[in-house]
Each structure stands twice: as structure tokens, then as C-alpha cells.
Amino acid sequence: MSVTRGIARTTLGEDARHEGFLRHKSFRWLKVALALCLVCLVAYALIDQQPRPSGGTAYGYTLGTVATLLILWLTMLGVRKRAMTRGRWSLKGWTSAHVYLGLSLIVIATLHTGFDFGWNVHTLAYALMLLVILSGIWGVAAYATLPEALSNSRSEMTRPQMVDAVVKLDRQLQMAAQPLADADTAIVRRALADDPFRAGVFRRLSASPRGCRTDAALAGMRRRLALATGEEAEALESVVALLERKSAALARIRQYLRLRALLEVWLYVHVPLTFALIAALAAHILSVFFYW
Amino acid sequence: MAFVLRTVSHSAEGREIVRTSRVESDRLTIGRDPACDVHLTDLAVALRHATVDRRGSRLAVTCERGLTVELNGRKMGAGETDVATGADIVLASHALRFMPAPPAATDVALNVERITGGETKLDKAGERLFSLAPVMPGKRAMAWLLFLVVLGACIGWPIKAYYDRQHRAEAFARFQADEIWSSGHLSRAHAALQHDCSACHAKPFESVRDTACIACHKDVHGHADPFRLARAQPDLTAWGRLQLRVKQAFDLPPGRCIDCHTEHQGQQAMAPTPQHFCSDCHADLTAKLPDTAIGNAGDFGKAHPDFRSAVITGWDGERPILQRVPIGAHPREQSGLKFPHTLHVSRVGGVAQMARTLGMGASLECRDCHSLNPDGVRFRPVEMERDCAMCHDLSFDRVGGTLRTLRHGDPAQVIADLRALYGGRTQPRPAILSPFARRLPGAAAGDRGETRYIRFAGAPGADAAIRAVFSPGGACYDCHTVQAPPPGSLAYRIAPVAFPSRYIQHGWFDHRSHASQSCASCHAASRSNAAADLLLPDLRTCRTCHGGERTSKPVASTCAMCHDYHRDAGAPAMIIRQRIGAERRQSVARLEGGG
């Protein structure tokens, strides 16, 4: 049993042992979700839906109602998560249920459709639901794997330290570049203006050094160094060394940003698509009764 | 003349540190080069960036080629200003302020100060920068935007289409937004309604009513008297009652057309109505409607009453008495005709010999006498002239090369013709009167003609010939029931002949669909010695191939295969739809094959 540092002497309850939301209460919600799926599957196999399986049979309406209630409840996690509590209905338990019951929707909603798809609002709602679930799966996978990689990528540095390293290198570059010719300083200055946080979501996700001005300056300075002699060569050498260190510092930040982006980006799909799904679901249900 | 430089910097606590120096020259050089008079350690400053020249009471600022400074707020490569007004020069992160001085003053003082710190944007990089939030549109904004877009497209737009339609007399011919609500294509029969949801969904939030169907299907009648229909409904189980309760709560009254005729099931022929829609009532109909004439039927393979065929059971004078009799009761048909099938289809004997002589094959086949209607469903009624006369010849006289024949179906004319034959001739020739005396090629025929001649030559003329025609061995007698004339008269009459035009009145049977089977597999003609035998197959015969809805037999047969809920005559809708579908597939195959 691992113990959180500093509180070794406090009495540790059951909850103190770290148990992620996936294994919460020995997979209680996974079992509930599996049982739910099993019931639906067996019913699908046994019930003779006339004229053919679809959302419009008694079985279809029942599963549709279950799925709708589930979706609405799953959406409530957005409200619930703002209040962290422990105990019987802890946020962790709630999250665990969110994940497993959300996954069970794949089975419930698919059986609800009776594999009857078309270009209409009904299939739109289904497709949006699948996208929300897929982004959720991404999120679970990200939470399960990325945080460790995220802290490793900082190589024992805090986030401000990572930035500090770059800022310090910039100052040193400022000084080291003083003796350089105007054309060279122009290159160094572009490197100084480098801002890794300007990268948009796709650049962050790829962590690509493409367009990195520090790398460009480094290449330029190396070319100059090859031709330079005397004092100029010495100055260039120190600038190149500094640019190399800055390049490495930026790459570390980019790698960190990439992991952060991977960890966060799914929610930018999950949440907006959930709202789109609820709108499509409303249209799906309304259309059925409007043209009853 | 000199420039007095006051270089101002700030300590960490914000205290001002001023260093003063003096440049004894009219010219002040500004640049990053340490050799410059004003040495600015900013990479944005060129090694030798600009010079300031004192020309009397004027100060001239000149930049190196291609470089600029900000002189009194204006960016320029070269400029002049008065010593008296002073000047502000901004160069990258530094400001050079030339203090106003009297035009004649020897010294010009200037402050050199770094105005922007050396810090970059990174210095301000907070925790937030590491997250995606600053570079993404807000989750909440995206969520509401998508919510409204989907709501507008999937609810607002279709509802608008619905109200547009309410204000139009004629149906739309192209896509309407409310079609995105459709759960599936309409059946082929209703394809024309695809842009007109309101044709069936007349009122919002009201289930489709029969009035919408009847608006077009005007001449479709119901199945039976509505009261009897209601009485025949099966008793509901608790589950059934619950279902009914739920349906009624959701405005789904039972017994609507669409209960059986489900729509939006795809671009296909309407699905055949499942058997249970019939068997719910008909499986135990006699219990619900004791006075019904219809037997219980739940499944063709397991529970179906015997076929009851229309049979002529007797005659009321000239009118046949038609009754429906179960085929299993082996009814005798009083058609008025004498006809042994077994003799005609036998592979040996006189008939077979005749068929061979006439070139009709080894023996007579069913099709030699029975011909299908053009629609292939039933057979044409047998006609003497067309179907019998090739063998059963009625010729009795030859005039030149032309044979005279007795008129079939008119005994009075036959009698008159015979009398005319005998009355009008001095040398009567023998009539070939017997049905067994047919025009035959070859010498043997001539011999038989001679025999007849000898037989009739001794008879007393016309009377004998008339009697012979209507008596055993005569042309009429062999096939017909001859009604004897009153004593002293020769007014022979023939009993009328009739057959039902349709034996099974309330079930459909299509001969063309059974073309793969031989006639004998259902009609036991080779064992029938009398015309009274009803050669219809019974239930057992049909069941060798046909089972119920779910069966291991080769042909699964729901009620709809032979019976129609709405129609009484003609093919059931299911058969018609199947046939149309098959023809469409054939024509498509032809088109594709041809292309």
C-alpha cells in the first residue's frame, strides 16, 4: 500500500488507497454496464420485432427511452464535477459510472436503431452520440496514460522553470550577439522573438519544430560560423551554443504542450458535441411525435 | 561644442542611476558598436545606426542606409530639428531625449534611457499558457453554437417546411426540410408522396388515421361487418391489455390501416402482412362468432379447414344447383357430361392410337384439350368445336369436297338436318354418324364407311338415322345425357352441360405459378373413370409443397398468398406485388444485360 508522503501517521481510511475511477469499487459500474448490455442483447435476440427491428417497435421505444435518460444523466457530469465530494455518491464513483454507462450506450443505442440507418435526424443523433463516446474513450485513454508522460517530459522542472530557462537563454543571447554584424543580429533577433505558446492546436498536437525560428537561426549561425574567423568566430560560437540550448529548451516545452494538448483536446470535442447531440436528440424525439 | 550624455538606468528597487559623460564633438554616433558615442546594447540597433550632427542652431539626424529612427514620433531615415525645441529620438528599446537649449548654447544635453524592459512575452508566461484554452475557441461558446445550429437545422427548418405546406394547395415536387425527419423511404407504391409528409401525417402530434388512407384508396372495402370484426377480436392477455393501454395513452388506437400496412420500411414493395394479423381472429373464429360459415384457420401447414369447392350437385330444370362442398367429402359433380379421363389420357388403346395417327404424340396430353387463359391463372372452358372436334367429328354428308356437320348444341337442328338429308336424296349415302367413325386417312376408313352404309341402308330412312344419333353408339349419346322424346315423337333433347367457372371462390390459385409441376401431380386424371369425379387437389396435396408462415416445406405460405383482406375476386395484393417486382427485376436485368 503506497502512502501519500507527509501523512504517514494519519489514520488512513479505505479511500486513502489510490483507486482510479476506472477500478472504482472493484469495477462496480463496469459490471452494471455489462449487465445492462447483456439484458438488452438477450431481449433483442428473443423479442420478435415486427415488421423488423427498428426504433419504432415496443422494444425500440423502450431502449430509446433508456438511452435518452442515460444521455441526459451522463451530461449532468458537467454540473456534478464542479462539486467534489466523497462518500457513497462520490465524484469518483459518478465519473466511473459516467465512463461505463456511457460505453454501454454503444450497445443500447445500436440495438435501439435495429441497424436501420438513413440520411435523417435519427441517424444524425446516433452518429453524434458515437462521436461523443469516441472522444470520451480518447479522454479515458489520455487520462490513463498521459499524466505520467507529462511529468516525465518536464525532466524534474516546474512549468515556470521551463519558461525561465528560455528567458535566461534569451538574455544571454542578447549579450552574446552584441558583437555580431547587423545581418547576423537580425537572425538572432528573430530567434529571440520566438514564442512556443503561439502555436495553435494542430501545431501543439504535432509538436513539430517546423517554423521554429530558433532552429532556423541556429542553422543560419552554423553556416556563418563555418566561414567566420577570429573574434567574429568566437562570438558566433557562443551564440550557436546558446541557440542550441534554447532549441532544446523549446523542444521540451513543445513536447510538454503536445501532451497537454492531447490530454485536453478531447474535451473540446466531447463537450460541444454533447450539446449538439442533445439538440439532435430533441429533434429526433420531437420529429417522431410531430409526425406521429 | 559638445553633447552631454546622461545615461539613466534603474536599480532593482527602482532607484534611478545616472551616469554622465561628455562627447566633445559636433557629431554624435549612435549604435551597438562599443566605439559609438551612444552605445545601445540592443540587437535591434545596428552597429552604426545613426548620427546626430550639430549645425549651428539645428540638429540633423541621419540614419545608415535603410535604417530609421523615430524622431519626435515620426519614423524617418533623416531629419532635422532645432536645438531650441530639443528632440525625442526613439531607437528600438531606447529613448534619446535632446534637452531644449538656447540656440547659441555650446552644450546640448541628452538623456539616454531604456524605455522597454528586456523581458519578452515569455516572462509573463503563466500557467494558463500551457493549457489549450488560449488557442481554442471556448468550449461553452462552441457548445451553445452547435446546440443552436442543430436545433435550427433539425427542428426549426422542418417545422417551417410543415407550415409552408399548410399554405399551399398542391404538393411539393422537390425536397422539403421535414423529410429529414423521415425514418426511412416510403414503399414503392407510395413513392409519389415522399415530399408530402402531410398527405398521411395530417395533423402534428396526431397519429396517422385511416381517413388519410381512404382519401386515396376510395374503393377498398373493409374486411367484414365492423361489429362482427370487433366481436372476433381475440381475448387480450394481461400483457396485451397493457400494450393496448400504452398505445391508447400515446394516441395509437387499435385497428388502423397502418397496423398491418407499415410504412417507411424502405424503397421496396410493401411487406406482406404477417400471418398473425389474420390468425389472431381466424385461429379460433368459431368460438367468437358461432354463426360463422368460415372454418378456423391459424396456419396453412397446421390448421386450415378443408377446401370447399363450388360443385354442381344437381339441376333445377335448366339451372345448375351450385353448392360448396369440402373436397375431402369426395363430391360428385353433376355437369351433365360423360367423360372418362382415364380413357383419354391412357397411353394405350384407341385414343392413344388416334393421337399418334393425328401426330399429337404418343398419347393425348392434358394440354391437347385444356388451354390456359392468356393471364395463365385459369383454363378456358372446354369447347366442343375447338377442344374435342379434332377427334369427335360430327360430319354426316359430303357435297363435292365439303363435309356437312351436325350442329353441336342444337338437337332440333340436328334432327332437321338429318331429315333434309334423307328427304332430299333418292340415293341416300351413309352418314358417318358414330363418334368412332372419324375422317381417317387410309383404306381402313373406307371399309368402315362401307360397313356403316350396310347398317343404315336397311333402316327406314331419316327416323332411323335420328334415333341412331341419340341412342347408345350414336354421336350425341356417347358424351351427353339424352332426354328421351315423348312417345310417338322424335324430339330428342340433350341435358344441359355446365361447369363452375371457378371452383375455389375464396382462395387464389394461379396455374402459371405452378408451371414447374406436372398436371398429374395435383389432378389424378389417369384414375378418373367418370366426369363426375372432381379432380381437384385436396389440402394434403397442397401441403406436400406449401407449409405455414414458418415451415420446413419448400414454400412458406402466409394467409396473404391465397387470401386477401380487402378483395374478394382476383389475385391477392401480395401476389400482384410479387409479380410486379419480378417483372421489374427482369426488365432491369434485360436492360443491364443489353447495356
Q: Residues 155..174 of B with a Cβ closer than 8 Å to A: which?
A: 155, 158-159, 162
Query: How far does B43 lie from chain A, in Å, by closest CA?
Result: 6
Contact between B150 and A279 using a beta-carbon 8 Å cutoff: yes
Instruction: Name the residue facing B120 among A52, A167, A288 (closest C-beta).
Output: A167
Nearest to A276 among B47, B146, B208 (CB): B146
How far CA A93 is from CA of A33, A73, A87, A89, in Å, comes to: 14, 14, 9, 6
Confidence band (pLDDT; 50, 70, 90) for A160?
confident
pLDDT at A208: 82
Q: Which chain A positions have a beta carbon within 8 Å of B132's beta carbon?
A: 201, 204, 260-261, 264-265, 268
Mean pLDDT of B141-154: 96
Q: Report the pLDDT value the prediction gives residue A7, as an integer from 0 to 100.
A: 43
Q: What is the mean pLDDT of chain B?
A: 85
Choose the mutation target among B127, B180, B194, B251 for the interface with A, i.e. most A CBs under 10 Å: B180
Q: What is the 3-state secondary structure (H, E, C) of B290-336?
A: CCCCCCCCCECCCECCCCEEEEEEEEECCEEEEEEEEHHHCCECCCC
Q: Does A159 touch chain B (CB under 8 A)?
A: yes
A40 within 8 A of A112, measured Cβ to Cβ: no
Which pLDDT does position B457 carry in this prediction? 46
pLDDT tens, residue by residue, A136-159: 999 999 988 888 888 787 777 788
pLDDT bin (cut points 50, 70, 90) of residue B440 is low
Check CB contact under 8 Å for B146 and A291. no
CB atoms within 10 A of CB B138: 12
Residues of chain B in contact with residue A132, where contact means CB-CB under 8 angstroms, are: none
Looking at the predicted structure, is the pLDDT value of residue B590 above 90?
A: no
Question: Per residue in B245-298, pLDDT tens?
Answer: 999 999 998 888 888 888 888 887 776 778 888 998 999 999 999 999 889 999
| Among B residues 441-500, those touching chain A with beta carbons less than 8 Å apart | none
Q: What integer pLDDT is reported at residue A121 of this predicted model?
A: 95
pLDDT tens, residue by residue, B416-425: 888 888 875 4
| Residue B1 forms contact with A (CB below 8 Å) | no
Classify residue B41 as exposed, middle or buried by CB count within 10 Å of its CB (0-12, 13-18, 19+).
middle
**Which residues does chain A have within 8 Å of residue B145's beta carbon, measured at their own beta carbons?**
272
Interface of A with B in 165-224 (CB under 8 A): 166-167, 170-171, 174-175, 177-178, 180-182, 185, 188-189, 192-193, 195, 197, 199-201, 204
* Residues within 8 A of A (CB atoms), B 202-241 only: 204-208
B435-443: average pLDDT: 50
Q: Tell me how close the Cα of A96 comes to any Cα of chain B, in angstroms.
A: 23
Residues B149, A276: C-beta atoms closer than 8 Å: yes
- Lowest-pLDDT range of B205-214, B230-239, B267-276: B267-276
Is the CB of A283 inside 8 Å of chain B's CB atoms? yes
User: How far is Cα B315 from Cα B330, in angstroms, rounded to an integer?
Assistant: 19
Mutate which: B39, B63, B120, B550, vs A, most A CBs within 10 A:
B120
Question: Looking at residue A49, what is its pLDDT?
Answer: 82
Contact flag B146-A272 (C-beta cutoff 8 Å):
yes
ipTM: 0.88
CB atoms within 10 A of CB B407: 13
Look at B44 and A124 and tell me if their CB atoms are within 8 Å: no
For residues B169 and B460, the model is more confident at B169
Shortest distance, CA B553 to any CA of chain A (angstroms): 22
Of the pLDDT bands very low, low, confident and very high (cuts 50, 70, 90), residue B85 is confident
* Contact criterion met (CB < 8 Å) for A189 and B43: yes
How confident is the model at residue B438, as a pLDDT?
Answer: 54
B468-472: average pLDDT: 89
pLDDT tens, position by position, A236-271:
999 999 999 999 999 988 998 999 999 999 999 999
In whole angstroms, give the CA distance from residue B459 to residue B474. Answer: 15
pTM over 0.90: no
Q: How many residues does chain B have?
A: 595
How confident is the model over B513-563, as pLDDT tens digits? 899 999 999 999 999 999 999 999 999 999 999 999 889 999 999 998 898
Q: Which of B36, B65, B146 to mutate to test the interface with A (most CBs of A within 10 A)?
A: B146
A197 → closest Cβ in B44, B125, B147: B125
Q: Which residues of A touch B147 (CB under 8 A)?
A: 275-276, 278-279
Whether residue A292 and residue B243 make contact (CB cut-off 8 A), yes or no, is: no
For residue A179, is the peptide bond before it cis, meaning its omega torsion is within 30 degrees of 0? no
Instruction: Give tens-digit pLDDT for A46-91.
Output: 988 877 888 888 899 999 999 999 999 999 988 888 877 776 678 8
Quick check: A166 and B118 CB within 8 A? no
Gap from B180 CA to chain A (nearest CA, Å) = 5
Share of chain B above pLDDT 90, in %: 31
According to the model, what pLDDT value does residue B427 have? 43
Local structure of B238: helix, strand or coil? helix
Residue B389 C-alpha cell reads as 372436334
Question: What are all long-range contacts of B520-528, with beta carbons under 8 Å and residues at least 24 apart?
Answer: B520/B366, B523/B366, B525/B341, B525/B342, B525/B344, B525/B345, B525/B366, B526/B341, B526/B342, B526/B345, B526/B346, B527/B342, B528/B340, B528/B341, B528/B342
Distance (Å, whole) CA A76 – CA A80:
6
Q: Between chains, do A118 and B183 touch, taking CB under 8 Å as contact?
A: yes
Separation between Cα atoms, residue B65 and residue B49, nearest integer Å: 9
Q: Name, of A110-114, B129-133, B292-296, B416-420, the range with top average pLDDT.
A: A110-114
- Closest-CA residue of A relative to B243 is A58
- The closest of A185, A163, A291 to A232, measured between CA atoms, is A185
The per-residue pLDDT for B334 is: 92
Q: What is the mean pLDDT of residues B172-198?
A: 89
Mean pLDDT of A14-26: 72
Nearest to B151 among A174, A199, A279 (CB): A279
Q: Is A233 on the interface with B (CB under 8 A)?
A: no
Q: Find the residue in B nearest to A287 (Cα).
A: B181
A245 close to B115: Cβ distance less than 8 angstroms = no
What's the CA dihedral at B433, B437, B442, B446 to 10 degrees? -40
Task: Name the residue among B43, B139, B265 with its Cβ closest to that of A268.
Answer: B139
**Sorting pLDDT into bands at 50, 70 and 90, what band is B117?**
low
Cα radius of gyration (chain B): 56
Average pLDDT over residues B419-442: 56
Whether residues A170 and B120 touch (CB distance < 8 A) is answered with yes
With contacts defined as CB-CB under 8 Å, which chain A residues touch B120?
A: 167, 170, 192-193, 195
Q: Summarize pLDDT for B347-357 with one digit per residue, the tens.
A: 998 889 988 98
Please give the distance of CA A162 from its chain centroid, rounded to a whole number.
22
